[in-house]
Amino acid sequence: ETGVTQSPTHLIKTRGQQVTLRCSSQSGHNTVSWYQQALGQGPQFIFQYYREEENGRGNFPPRFSGLQFPNYSSELNVNALELDDSALYLCASSFDRAPPSSGANVLTFGAGSRLTVL
Amino acid sequence: RKEVEQDPGPFNVPEGATVAFNCTYSNSASQSFFWYRQDCRKEPKLLMSVYSSGNEDGRFTAQLNRASQYISLLIRDSKLSDSATYLCVVLWGNTPLVFGKGTRLSVIA
C-alpha cells in the first residue's frame, strides 16, 4: 500500500508568479484535502476534493484553486503569489467524505511541499 | 476566541519526566478529538484519538472534559524521541479537521 506522495518537496517562487503542487493519494482513498501550514502555526484547511468535485473550502481567496483527477490524484494551484503564501502545503487523503471519528477514516498526510515566496 | 487553543511551549523536560498538555476548544458541538504529532519539518501523524471516557496508549493518556471544553495529553516517562510538536485537533459535524497551533516538547538527556 503506497502512502500519500507530494511534489515538489521544495520550491522557491517570486511574488506574482503562479505555482502548481501535486499530490497522489494513498491507494484506496478517493478524497483529498489540502492544508496550508505557516511557520509556527497549525495546518489550515484550504479545500477538499471528492470524486473530482470540490467538497468544502476554507477561508482562502479564489487565487487558490484545485483539481482532482479520475485516479484521485490532485493539484493545488496558487496564482499571483504573495509573500504570506510561504508555507508548508500538506495534502491528506482519506476514504470517502466521511469525517474521521474515533480513529476511523484517519487522514493520512503527505510529507508536504515547502513553498518560499521571495 | 480561537477555535482551538494550545500553549505553544516550548516545554523542556528531562528524560523520564511526566508532562501534560492542555488544549481548549470553543465549539461546544465538537464531536471528535485527536492528538497529532509533528516532527520538525515533517508531516503531522495521528498519535491518538481522544474518547469521552479517556484512553491510554502505552505511556500516553488522553482525557476529554466536555463541560470545560478541553482535552489533555499526558506523557509519562518521557523519551528523547518524544521531542516533537503536539497538535490538538477537533472536529464537529461534517467539517474539516481544525488544528491548534501545536505545543512544542523538547525532552533533554
Question: Chain centroid to CA B51: how far?
Answer: 13
Could you tell me the pLDDT band of residue B1, with boundaries at 50, 70 and 90?
low
DSSP state of B44: E
Say which amino acid occupies B95.
T
Say which amino acid occupies A96.
D
Instruction: Identify the CA nearest to A97 among candidates A105, A88, A86.
Output: A105
Does the beta carbon of B95 lie under 8 angstroms from any beta carbon of chain A?
Answer: yes
pLDDT over threshold 80, residue A18: yes
Long-range contacts of A42-48 (CB under 8 A, 24+ apart): A42/B4, A42/B87, A42/B99, A42/B100, A42/B101, A42/B102, A43/A90, A43/B44, A43/B87, A43/B99, A44/B99, A45/B96, A45/B97, A45/B98, A46/A76, A48/A97, A48/B96
pLDDT over threshold 60, residue A61: yes
Q: Which residues pair with B92 in a beta bridge?
A: none
* Closest Cα in chain A, distance from residue B14 (Å): 23
pLDDT over threshold 60, residue B89: yes
pLDDT score for B92: 76
pLDDT score for B8: 87
DSSP E strands in A28-86: the ranges are 31-37, 44-50, 53-57, 64-68, 74-78
Segment A30-46 shows an average pLDDT of 93
pLDDT in tens, B8-61: 889 999 999 999 999 999 988 888 899 999 999 899 999 999 988 889 999 999
A59: left (phi over 0), alpha (psi -120 to 50) or beta: beta
Could you please report the per-residue DSSP string of A71-112?
TS-EEEEE-S--GGG-EEEEEEEESSSPPPBTTBT--EE---
Examine residue A8 and say whether the peptide bond preceding it is cis (omega within 30 degrees of 0).
Answer: yes
pLDDT over threshold 50, residue A102: no
pLDDT over threshold 50, residue A15: yes
* Closest Cα in chain A, distance from residue B78 (Å): 23
Q: Is A39 exposed, middle or buried (0-12, 13-18, 19+ CB in 10 A)?
A: exposed
* Closest Cα in chain A, distance from residue B67 (Å): 20
Handedness of CA A26, A58, B94, B1 (dihedral sign): positive
pLDDT over threshold 90, residue B94: no
Does the beta carbon of B107 lie under 8 angstroms from any beta carbon of chain A?
Answer: no
Q: Are B59 and B47 in contact (CB under 8 A)?
A: no
pLDDT score for A100: 52
pLDDT over threshold 80, residue B95: no
Does the beta carbon of B47 lie under 8 angstroms from any beta carbon of chain A?
Answer: no
pLDDT score for A51: 87
| Residue of A41, A100, A112 with shortest CB distance to B43 | A112
